[in-house]
Each structure stands twice: as C-alpha cells, then as structure tokens.
Amino acid sequence: MSGIWVWGVSAAVVFCVGLLVSALRSRFVYVTIRGRSMEPGYHDGDRVLVRRTAGLEVGQVIVLEAPIDGTWGKPPLSSGDRVEERVWIIKRVVALPGDPVPRQKIPALARAAESRVPAGSLVVLGDNPEASFDSRKFGYFPISRVLGVVIGHHRG
C-alpha cells in the first residue's frame, strides 16, 4: 500500500511541477539582443527576461517582432508558436493608442493625417538613434507584434 501511495505522490508532484513550468513559460521568456539599437543600456548579446503582457506604458522597454523588408511575413505570434522562430527587436515605447502623434521626434510621422496614435498601433524608439530601426524610419508598429515588457537584464 505504501508503494502505491509513494508512486501517487511522486506522480502528483511531477504533474504539478510540469504545470508550473508550463505556466511560467507561457508568461515569461528569455530573448537574446541582437544589434546596438538600445545602447548604452542594452548591448548586442545581452539577454533580457520578458513578461508577456497586454498592458503597455510609455517609457517601458519592450520586445517586439521585427518587420522583414517593411512587412511581417507571418501572422502575429500565438501561444503555441515558438519564440525562436521570429526575429525580435528591443525598443522603448514613446506613444500608445490615443496619445498625441509625436511628429517632432518622428520624421516618418511628420505628415500623418491623424493627430492621435491609431488604435492597435504604437510608436517606439531605440535609445541609440544611429543604430536603430524604429518609428523614426518605419512609423507605427502594430501592438499585435509585441512579445512583452522587459523585466530583467543579464549582460552577455
């Protein structure tokens, strides 16, 4: 009887640990930074811990999917997709939907017809403008391409 009890407890512990790991992986992910767009704070090869979230605030550093040749070849990342199969960039949020369009900072938005950032869009900048592909060149980025907010940083 005690052997069955020990086996049952062991199986329950393994199951619970598996659930915990699965929950953490669906909420948090590590991403390696490629490029110099966020120097001096973040460098090529640094790793960041990202919390997947829908709530963004101006000033937060986020990881979002990079457009390839000015567009996204795949639909936005879903919960079952592998993070490693996408190209990610790290940027700082400058404006969210409903915020005034920052025309003075963003040449690509200087002639935008709207006075407010449209729903589903955001404005992002790299801290190192000489090495950053961001809203200065691309304009609005879709919120649907945001992986999450950087909550931890490890130097590469």
pLDDT in tens, the chain (156 residues): 577 777 776 766 666 566 555 555 557 889 998 889 999 999 999 999 999 877 899 999 999 988 877 777 777 777 666 777 788 899 999 999 999 999 888 888 988 889 999 999 999 999 999 999 899 988 999 999 999 999 999 887
Q: Are 58 and 97 in contact (CB under 8 A)?
A: no
User: So which residues are the catalytic ones?
Assistant: 37, 91
Does CATH number 2.10.109.10 belong to domain 28-154? Answer: yes
pTM (2 decimals)? 0.81
The domain ranges of the chain are: 28-154
Tokens of 28: 């948090």
Terminal alpha carbon distance of the chain: 52
How many beta carbons lie within 10 A of that of residue 121, not counting itself?
A: 19
